[in-house]
Every structure is written in C-alpha cells, then in structure tokens.
Amino acid sequence: MFLAPSLIGFAMFYLIPFAMGIYESFTDNAIGGTFVGLDNYKELLASGSFRKAASNMFLFTGISVPLLIALSLFLAILLNRPLFLRNWLRTAFILPLVVPVASIVMIWQIFFDWNGTLNAWLHHYGMARVDWLQSDGSMGVLVVMYIWKNIGYNMILFLAGLQTIPQDYYETARIEGAGRVRQLFHVTLVYLTPTMFFVLLISIINSFKVFRETYLLAGDYPYDRIYMMQHFMNNMFFSLDIQKLTAAATLMVGCIVIVVTGLLRVERRFREFME
C-alpha cells in the first residue's frame, strides 16, 4: 500500500507509455493504424541515418566507457591513500555533477570553437587551426566532455568499494611477499569486482544519454561523427514519424536490456565463484 502511489505514477508516466510505444512500432499510423508486423523495423534498419547514428553511439560507448572506468579507478585508488589536499581534490572532481549542462557546453564551446582557446594556442605556436566540432575530432571532444562530467561520480563509487576491503587482506599479502602490483590485481581488483560491474553498468547507461551535451554543442544536425541515436529519434519526433521513432526507441531499449542482463549474469557467476 505504501508503494502504490509511486507504482501508479511510474506506470502512468513510464510503463504504459512505453508499452504504447512498442505497439505503435508495429503499426503504420499513430491514429487508427493497422498492424504491419516488422515492416517498420525493416525500414528502420535500411535507413542510412539510423545506421550512422547507431554506429556512432556504439563507437562512443566503446571508447568513452573503458577510458572513464580506468581513469576513475586510478583516481579512486590515488585518493584512497593519505594525500595532501585529498578532501579538496575529492570535492573538485565532484563539482562537474552539480554544474548545469548548458554552462558546461558553453565552456567547451569556448575552448574548442574555431576562434576558441585551443585554436588560439595552436595558432600561437605556429600550428594550423582545427574546426574541432566539424571534423572527426568532434568524437574526441564529446568523449572528453563525457569523461569530465562523469568521472567524479564513478570515483566516489570506487572509493566506497575500496573502503569496504579489509586492510587485513593487504597485510597478509605483504607478509607473503606480494608487491603493490600483485596486491592491486589479486586483492584490490578481485574484491572490487562487484563495484566494478555496477559502475560499468551505470557508465554504459549514461553513455546512451549523452544527447543533451551533443545537442547543445552542435545542434539538431551535427557533424556525422557525433550524430547519435537520440539525434535520430529527436528528428523523427519533429517530423512526426512516430513509427520510426518508436521502433528506434524499442531497439535501443532492447540493446540496453541485453547488455544489462549479460553483465548481471557475469556478476552473479563471479559472486558464486568467490563464495
């Protein structure tokens, strides 16, 4: 009974609309449409814009998530030790989480614009200017911005996981002659694996939600390299092509469900192995 209000709201604004969207993806019209089976999905997969958006999204996830995991884990291990100004550094890495996205994008635009700070430095040292947002380097700009925005959150999660590892394990490893590298791989990473799976899962999901940054950075139709899945669905919404929109959303959710299910199974098997 206590959960009923939240459950009703969640069903009204999430579950029911999503179920309606799945149904619309199998019809030929939003109002009074007839069932057409997988025709919308076949047309979607044949669309060059959809394939470009999907490939860019997977490329972005494949590049940004491993880099984010590695850097946030490195910072967590570093800040888990006695360090000068450690508390100030922790706060500094968390600050990007509370800064509005529009302000973040404005800063990155100033830095990477044709007449921005980075090109001014390049020009000062005799190198050619680069239109970062209208070249293949735009993917790198987006990856750096994503890492800068999310590294603090992942670092805090890793710090919480590191502080749950008993110090007795490290003392035992040192007594047995294990160096820092062996302690890292045989103690830290082993007992940090559950946290690692959770952080990996959150990072993948967040990488699929990078639309706001890209939209504010480059608009409706950005350079091809950063034309993401959300751009495709947003443009389908403005053109009222509900069938392609719902089909693309269903495929995107299906990919996320497959990834999440696979990670949870791997994490469950690892936990059973450790037990």
Between residues 2 and 167, the one the model is more confident about: 2
Determine the Cα–Cα distance for residues 43 and 238; give it in Å rounded to an integer: 19
More confident residue, 120 or 86: 120
**Does the pLDDT value for residue 69 go beyond 90?**
yes
Q: Residue 140: which residues within 8 A CB-CB, separation 6 or more?
A: 132
Determine the pLDDT at residue 275: 59
Distance CA 211, CA 198 (A): 22
Whether the pLDDT of residue 160 is over 80: the answer is yes
- pLDDT, position 107: 81
Q: What is the average pLDDT across 26-49? A: 83
- Assess if residue 29 is contained within a domain: no
Task: State how far the alpha carbon of 259 is from the alpha carbons of 86, 178, 199, 205, 222, in Å.
Answer: 35, 36, 13, 10, 27
Give percent above pLDDT 90 in the chain: 10
For residue 217, which of 146, 275, 118, 125 has the smallest C-alpha distance? 146
Strand partners, 35: 27
What range defines the domain where residue 240 resides?
Answer: 56-274
Task: State the average pLDDT over residues 166-185.
Answer: 82
Residue in this structure with the two tokens 């972005």, named with its chain if needed: 60
CA 147, 263, 258, 249 dihedral sign is negative
How far CA 273 is from CA of 146, 266, 269, in Å, comes to 34, 10, 6
Q: What is the pLDDT of residue 48?
A: 86
Q: Which residue has the tokens 């952080």?
A: 199
Mean pLDDT of 100-105: 78
In a domain, 115, yes or no: yes
Asked if 188 and 162 count as a contact pair (C-beta separation under 8 A), the reply is yes
Dump pLDDT digits (tens) for 187-217: 888 888 888 888 998 898 888 888 777 777 7
pLDDT for the residue numbered 83: 67
Confidence of residue 167 (pLDDT cuts 50, 70, 90): confident
Q: Is residue 209 part of a domain?
A: yes
Number of domains in the chain: 1
* Residue 168: its H or E element: helix 167-175
pLDDT in tens, 6-17: 999 999 998 898
Mean pLDDT of the chain: 84
What's the predicted TM-score (pTM) here?
Answer: 0.82
The pLDDT of 115-130, averaged and rounded, is 83
> Looking at the domain assignment, is residue 156 inside a domain?
yes
Residue 223, domain CATH: 1.10.3720.10
Measured distance CA(200)–CA(183) in Å, rounded: 22
Per-residue model confidence (pLDDT) at position 217? 77
